[in-house]
Amino acid sequence: MNNEFLNPKRVLETISLREDMTACDLGCGSGGWVIPLAKILNKGVVYAVDILEQALSALKGKLETEKLTNVKTILSDVEKGVRIGDNLMDFVLLSNILFEVDNKEFVLKETERLLKPQGIALIVDWKEDSPIGLKDRRVSFDEIRSIINAKGFKIEKEFDAGKYHWAILIRKL
C-alpha cells in the first residue's frame, strides 16, 4: 500500500470493521470513501456528510448506480456541528478534511461527540512532503497527534495510507 496512491478500499480493509456498524464520513465529497465503506458495512448505515450540495448530488448518483441503499446524505458544515445525535457512530472517517478546516480541535471534538464509547475514527491526510496535493495548509502527523491526545482518544495505529498520505486510527475512551 505504501507505493500506491490512496486506495480507500485497501485502507478500510486494514481496519476491523463489522458489516453491521454505523459509520460517518465527515467531508465525504462525492463519495470516494463512502462507496467502499457502504459495501463493507452492508448491514449497517453510512452517514455521508458534506458542505457542498453538488458533491452530495454526485454521490447520490453513484449510490443509485451501485445500488447501495445503506447511505444517508447530510448537508452540513462540520466546523459548525453535524446534525447527528451523540454517541451513535461505531466508526468516523476524516479523510483529506483536516487540512481544509480552520478549527481542527472542534472537528475532532465533534468526532468524539459522534462516536460511541470505544468507537473508532480513521484520520487520513496528506504527508507534509508529498509532491502533489494542496501544500499550503497541510497538517502534520505531530500536530494531529497532540490534539488527539488532548481530546480523550487512544491512538490504536499509525500507518502510511499510500505514497502521499498518512493515517491514524484512534479509539474513543
Q: Look at residue 3 and tell me whether its pLDDT is greater than 80.
A: no
Does 2 reside within a domain?
no
Q: Are 153 and 121 in contact (CB under 8 A)?
A: yes
- Give the neighbor-by-neighbor strand order of the sheet with 115-126: 71-75, 45-50, 22-26, 89-95, 115-126, 165-172, 153-160
Does 1 reside within a domain?
no
Q: Are 25 and 33 in contact (CB under 8 A)?
A: yes
Arithmetic mean of pLDDT over the chain: 91
Does 27 reside within a domain?
yes
Nearest to 170 by CA among 92, 88, 79, 96: 92
CATH number at residue 158: 3.40.50.150
Does 124 reside within a domain?
yes
What domain range includes position 36? 8-172
Band (pLDDT 50/70/90 cuts) for residue 136 is low
Q: Which residue has the higher pLDDT, 24 or 1?
A: 24
How many domains are contained in the chain?
A: 1
Does 121 reside within a domain?
yes
Does 125 reside within a domain?
yes
Q: Are 65 and 30 in contact (CB under 8 A)?
A: no
pLDDT, one tens digit per residue, over 59-83 is: 999 999 999 999 999 999 999 999 9
pLDDT at position 17 = 97
Band (pLDDT 50/70/90 cuts) for residue 107 is very high
Does 96 reside within a domain?
yes
Give this prediction's pTM.
0.94
Q: Look at residue 150 and tell me whether its pLDDT is greater than 80.
A: no
Does 3 reside within a domain?
no
pLDDT at position 149 = 80
